[in-house]
């Protein structure tokens, strides 16, 4: 059974940094595209960043470009999201997701597996 487990969330002041991690119990992890999404209270789950199975192609939501970086370590079956210059509007529960294939998915419905989420709170 596939499991994704996020960690690294917490409380940080505006302008600060956090690095989220997502450990995956997937034997063929290198065959999966991975993504990060976030959901603020009362809002839908929104796309943040995606990384294809090769690790060579990324896509970011406009508001996080230049501030967030998605990466992966296939040997450790782990996905990371480095978040810098955090803003109060980045406050949300952050979820990692995985999808088998060659593409670079950006929609919630495209992903097969999800983690349970980790809370990120940015104070002003």
Query: What are the tens digits of pLDDT across the range 33-76?
Result: 999 999 999 999 999 999 999 999 999 999 999 999 999 999 99
Mean pLDDT of the chain: 96
The per-residue pLDDT for 88 is: 97
- Residue showing tokens 């980790």: 118
The per-residue pLDDT for 90 is: 98
The per-residue pLDDT for 1 is: 79
Who's near 83: CB < 8 A, 6+ residues apart? 17, 18, 19, 20, 64, 67, 68, 90, 120
């Amino acid at each position: 059974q596939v499991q994704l487990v996020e960690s690294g969330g917490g409380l940080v002041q505006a302008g600060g940094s956090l690095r989220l991690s997502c450990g995956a119990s997937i034997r063929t992890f290198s065959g999966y595209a991975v993504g990060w999404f976030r959901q603020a209270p009362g809002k839908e789950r929104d796309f943040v960043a995606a990384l294809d199975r090769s690790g060579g192609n990324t896509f970011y939501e406009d508001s996080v470009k230049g501030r967030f970086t998605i990466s992966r370590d296939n040997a450790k079956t782990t996905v990371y999201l480095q978040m810098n210059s955090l803003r109060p509007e980045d406050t949300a529960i952050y979820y990692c997701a995985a999808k088998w294939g060659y593409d670079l998915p950006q929609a919630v419905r495209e992903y097969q597996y999800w983690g349970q989420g980790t809370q990120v709170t940015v104070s002003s």
